[in-house]
Amino acid sequence: MKNLIYVDNNATTRVDDKVMEAMLPFFTELYGNPSSMYPFALCSKAPIDKAREQVAKFINAERSDEIIFTGCGTESDNMAILGALKAKPDKKHFITSSVEHQAIHILNHSLEKMGYRVSRISVNEEGLLNLDELRNEICDDTALISLMWSNNETGVIFPIEEAAAIAAEKGIPFHTDAVQAAGKVEIDVQKTGVDLLSISGHKIHAPKGVGALYVKRGTRLRPFLIGGHQEHGRRAGTENVPGIVGFGKACELAGEFIEDEVNRVGALRDKLESEILKRIPDTSIVGSREFRTPNTTNIIFKYVEGEAILLMMADEGICASSGSACTSGSPEPSHVLSAMKVPIGVAHSAIRFSLSRYNTDEDVEFIINHLPPVIERLREMSPLGSNRR
């Protein structure tokens, strides 16, 4: 395969070598089931406790038993929302935003079928949350509020501390999907005052198949997966020991790398973005530039369709993503961009670049040199644009 320029880190990330190293013994040597009754099993139990400490430290949880390991970010989100709603069976109102990840966006449909009323707080054209609307939507029937920390498609950051304070004032539990924020902005559950928080391993250089849910002590939550007594009886299922160990290590590293992320990766993103805007006409950025994770940029290339851009870029070895999978000609691009009132036609032309600590200056140079001809070529093929008759 030719040189790979991977700028799709909001989709998934490369496993860090140190993470890999930490995990390896738990596949072939220390493979015991932590629940078993012999010393060999203990060899895989203690590392889980260590990982729990590492995750707790990463998000500044008060106690490590506030961390529950799960199978992925989606499971954490589902568990938080369904578990918290089930804990309050008399309340039937759920508040979230209009730009959440599928794990919540699609779950909302199920909740509505189950008889819940779902309020989706709107965002403005910059993707910023309407806090007044949040205040107004809260009522006696509200069981839970869930708002993402930062958006997967645009990187836009919500004011979680303020939102959590509004929830706390009314005594409503507050969940945040921090899957895209972890490792990119500082996460402090005590300072922000959230009750529930989801994170995922593979977005921060741990492997796929492991996530975590932070549950503040005292938060009422019914279990989601039912079965064994694992995770203090809160999440049944044999622990993914290697994954959990890797996740712990990744959290430790993410804590160390956060400065690099903000400064170096942020500077790379800024360069990529400004050079693209400078070199390619009819381009624009989606979302607030002020409140945004440092690694993400979402750019509209007018008159050309996202998938076509991705495939042409892939031919050059560049891996990015488009907000909308053009599925079956359904005229619905990303619900995120729609909520931000990006015109539907234009939303088909949005491309997301998301960087990580593995990206270099050379990567950015490569993209800004190879992208302009790709766009130019596709625009030649397009009936839209300046050459339209």
Where in the sequence numbering do the catalytic residues fall?
Answer: 326
Residue 96 to residue 216: CA distance in whole angstroms: 19
Binder among 106, 114, 267, 311 for other proteins (CB under 8 A): 311
Range 268-307, binding other proteins (CB under 8 A): 303-307
Residue 347: CB minimum distance to other proteins, A:
9
> Given the complex with other proteins, which of 178 and 347 has the nearer CB atom?
347
Residue 126 three-state SS? coil
Stretch that binds other proteins, among 124-132, 220-228, 285-293, 337-345 (CB under 8 A): 337-345
CB of 305 to other proteins, least distance (A): 5
HEC sequence for 263-320: HHHHHHHHHHHHHHHHHCCCEEECCCCCCECCCEEEEEECCCCHHHHHHHHHHCCEEC
Torsional class of 372: left (φ above 0), alpha (ψ -120 to 50), beta (otherwise): alpha
Q: For residue 210, what are its two tokens?
A: 């492991």
Residue 222 to residue 141: CA distance in whole angstroms: 19
Q: Which of 33, 64, 130, 382 binds other proteins (CB under 8 A)?
A: 382
Least Å distance, CB 356 to other proteins, is 20
Cα separation of the two ends of the chain:
41
Pick the stretch among 175-183, 185-193, 246-254, 324-332 that binds other proteins (CB under 8 A): 324-332
Among 119, 252, 333, 355, binds other proteins (CB under 8 A): 333
> Which CB atom, from 267 or from 381, has the smaller least distance to other proteins?
381
Taking the least distance from each CB to other proteins, the nearer of 18 and 370 is 370
Nearer to other proteins, 5 or 134 (CB): 5
Q: Return the residue matching tokens 């509209």.
A: 300
Where in 339-378 is the site for other proteins (CB under 8 A)?
A: 343-345, 348
- Residue 120: Cβ within 10 Å count: 19
In angstroms, the CA 342 to CA 285 distance is 11
Choice between 330 and 386, CB closer to other proteins: 330
Using CB under 8 A as the binding rule, whether residue 115 contacts other proteins is answered as: no
CB of 343 to other proteins, least distance (A): 8
Tell me how far, at minimum, the Cβ of 260 lies from other proteins, in Å: 31
Helices 266-279 + 361-381 axis angle, to 10:
30
Question: Beta-carbon neighbour count of residue 124 at 10 Å?
Answer: 12
Binding-site ranges for other proteins (CB under 8 A): 303-308, 311-312, 315, 324, 326-331, 333, 343-345, 348, 380-384, 389
